[in-house]
């Protein structure tokens, strides 16, 4: 089962907000999710993510979308993932 970390749009027309979710690669954007990792509101620039779960999914092979990668980089999750892949302890 190939999985991706990507955004799922929620919210009203003109007031977008998104959930950062883990989904099977073949599922549509609004389809069934495997796990909900966090929330992003671009209007207020709010970002809340469970960093430990996101890192665990990345280590299991989940591939983030370009936007999800950008959001995870903001929080330092991608840096921790690169360190873990290189065998360096997380600081």
Rounded Cα distance, 83 and 34, in Å: 26
Number of domains making up the chain: 1
Is position 91 within any domain?
no
Q: Residue 24 is part of a domain; what is its CATH number?
A: 3.30.1320.10
Rounded Cα distance, 5 and 63, in Å: 6
Please report, for residues 46, 72, 75, 82, the alpha-carbon distance to residue 19 in angstroms, rounded to integers and kept in the order given.
11, 13, 16, 24
- Give the residue, 66 or 26, on which the prediction is more confident: 66
Instruction: Give residue 19's domain range.
Output: 3-86
Element (H, E) at 70: helix 66-75
Is the per-residue pLDDT at 29 higher than 80? no
**What is the model's pTM?**
0.85
Strand order in the sheet with 46-49: 46-49, 35-41, 17-24, 3-10, 63-64
Q: How confident is the model at residue 25 (pLDDT cuts 50, 70, 90)?
A: confident
């Amino acid at each position: 089962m190939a999985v991706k970390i990507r955004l799922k749009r929620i919210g009203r027309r003109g007031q977008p907000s998104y959930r950062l979710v883990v989904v099977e690669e073949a599922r549509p954007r609004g389809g069934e999710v495997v796990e909900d990792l966090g929330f992003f509101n671009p209007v207020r620039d709010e970002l809340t993510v469970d960093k430990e779960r996101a890192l665990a999914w990345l280590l299991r092979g989940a591939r983030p979308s370009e936007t999800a990668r950008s959001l995870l980089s903001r929080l330092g999750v991608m840096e921790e993932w690169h360190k873990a892949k290189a065998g360096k302890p997380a600081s």
